[in-house]
Amino acid sequence: MSLAALRRAARETVSGLPREFWWLWTSTLVNRLGAFVSTFMALYLTLDRGYSATYAGLVASLYGLGGVVSSIGSGVLTDRIGRRPTLLVAQSSTAASVALLGFMHDPVAIAAVACLVGAASNASRPAVQAMMADIVRPEDRVRAFSLNYWAINLGFAISSMAAGFIAEVSYRAGFLLEAGMTAVCAVVVFLRLPESRPTAPTTADGKEPTEAVGLRTVLRDRRFMSVVGLSFLVALVFQQGSVGLPVAMGEAGFTPADYGTAIAVNGFLIVALQIPVTRLIEHRDAKRLLVVSSILAGYGFGLTAFAGSVGVFALTVCVWTLGEMINAPTQTGLVVRLSPVQGRGRYQGMYILSWAVAALVAPLMSGFVIDHFGAEWLWGMCAVVGTGAAVGYGALMRGLPASGAMGVETPAAAEPEVSAA
C-alpha cells in the first residue's frame, strides 16, 4: 500500500466523528497512560513491601471484586444521574484512592484500599460506553468503539514500559503519577464533555413517567443475558493470556522475559492492526464475526498445547489476538444494538460485569486445571469453550436481521441529542 493510500485510509478512519467523542477518547488515553497499579501491584507487594505471593494474589482478587461490585452500581448511576456525573465521581474517586494506596502500610488497609481502587477504576466503564453510544451515529459506532479500544491498548503499552522505569525509582511516585493523570481525566470530563443522557419521555400532563428500564428489565431480557453469558465464556478464554499462559510457560522452564516477549506481541499487534482490521470488518455481518472471533480465541489458546519455543508461543498469541481485535468492537456494538436507549447504562454495566467476573474466575480455574491435570488440559478446555461460544453466537443471532454495520439500530430507535451540561 502506498503512502498516499495509507494517509487516505487514516483520514477516513478518523473522519466524521463528533468533537465530544475525541475528548472522550483523549480521556481514555490519558487514563490508560497512567495505569501503574494494575501493572505493578504484584511486584510492589512482593518486592517492595515483602509480602508473600499468596497475599499478593488475595489483593489482586479483592481488586477484581471491587470491579465486579461497581459494574452494576455504576451502570444504574449512568442512567439515573447521567454519564458526566458518573464519570466525574468515578475518576475523582480513582485518583483519590490510588494516591491513598501509595501511603498504606498495614496489610489489611492495603487490601481494603485496593478493593476501593478496583471499584472506582471500573466504575467509569459503563458511563464511557453509554456516552459513546449516545454521541456517535449508529453507523459509526463500531469504528468509534475500535478507536477507543486502540487508545486503551496504546496507553497501556506505553504505560507498561514507563512504569518499569518509574518502579526502579519509587513505587509511590508511580501511584501518585497515576492519581494525577486520572485527575486530569476528571478535569477533561468536567470542562469538555457535555451530558448525553437521553431525555426521558413525558406524559400528557408534562410529568416524567415511572422509570421503565430497571435491572429487572435487563435480567428478563433473555437474548441480552445470553450475550452476557457468551461474553463471559469468551472473556474466560482471553483472560488466560495474563493468567494461565505465564504459569504454564514458567512450569515449562521459560523465563519471565520469555513470557514478556511472547505477550508483547499482543499489544504490538493491537496497536499496529486494530484500525486496519476494523476497516476490513466494519460492514460485515456481526454474527459471522462473533463466531469467527470465538473460534480464533479458543483455538488460538488451544494451539498453545503444541508450543515448545518462544517463537511458537508468539505465533499462538497472534492467532488469539486477531480474535480479540474482531471481538472487542463487534461485541460492544451488539450490546448497544440490543440495549434500549433509556437503559444503556444498566445494559453496559451488566455486560462489563461478565468480564469482571471472568477476571475473578479465570485465575482459580487455570490454577486448578494446571495443578491437577496439566497445562495441556487448560488449552484443550479453551478450544472447547471457544467452540461453544461460537455455536452460541450462531444460534443466538439467528433471529436478528443481518447488519452491514455492527451496532446499527433499527430506524425506530430514537437517538438522543447531546445537550450541554
- Provide the pLDDT for residue 380: 95
Instruction: State whether residue 195 is helix, strand or coil.
Output: strand
φ/ψ of 198, rounded to 5, equals -60, 145
Q: Nearest 5 degrees, angle CA 66-CA 294-CA 301?
A: 80
Q: Is the dihedral of CA 347, 349, 355, 356 positive or negative?
A: negative
Instruction: Give the Cα separation of 18 and 101 in Å (integer).
Output: 37
CB atoms within 10 A of CB 399: 7
> C-alpha grid cell for residue 225?
443475558
- Provide the pLDDT for residue 210: 47
- The packing angle between helices 124-135 and 310-338, to 10°, is 60
State how far the alpha carbon of 164 is from the alpha carbons of 98, 254, 413, in Å.
18, 21, 47
- Provide the pLDDT for residue 306: 93
Residue whose C-alpha cell is 444521574: 81
The closest of 222, 193, 217, 209 to 85, measured between CA atoms, is 193
Instruction: State whether residue 43 is helix, strand or coil.
Output: helix
Tell me 404's DSSP state.
S
**pLDDT tens per residue, range 295-340:** 999 999 999 999 989 999 999 999 999 999 999 889 988 888 888 8
- Provide the pLDDT for residue 410: 39
Low-confidence residues in the chain, pLDDT < 70? 1-10, 12-13, 38-39, 43, 53, 160-161, 163-164, 200-212, 399-421
Contacts of 397 (CB under 8 A, 6+ apart): 286, 287, 290
- Provide the pLDDT for residue 9: 62
Q: Judge whether 293 and 399 are in contact, CB under 8 Å.
A: no
- Provide the pLDDT for residue 381: 95
Determine the residue type at 334.
L
State how far the alpha carbon of 328 is from the alpha carbons of 124, 267, 296, 369, in Å.
18, 14, 13, 27
Rounded to the nearest 10°, the torsion over CA 24, 30, 33, 37 is -90
Concatenating the DSSP letter of every residue in 360-398 gives HHHHHHHHHHHHHT-HHHHHHHHHHHHHHHHHHHHHHGG
- Provide the pLDDT for residue 125: 86
> C-alpha grid cell for residue 302?
488451544
**pLDDT tens per residue, range 176-232:** 988 998 898 888 888 888 888 877 655 555 555 545 677 788 888 899 999 999 999
- Provide the pLDDT for residue 388: 96
Instruction: Give the Cα separation of 195 and 78 in Å (integer).
Output: 11
- Provide the pLDDT for residue 229: 95
Instruction: Give the Cα separation of 363 and 244 in Å (integer).
Output: 7
Q: Is the dihedral of CA 39, 43, 49, 53 positive or negative?
A: positive
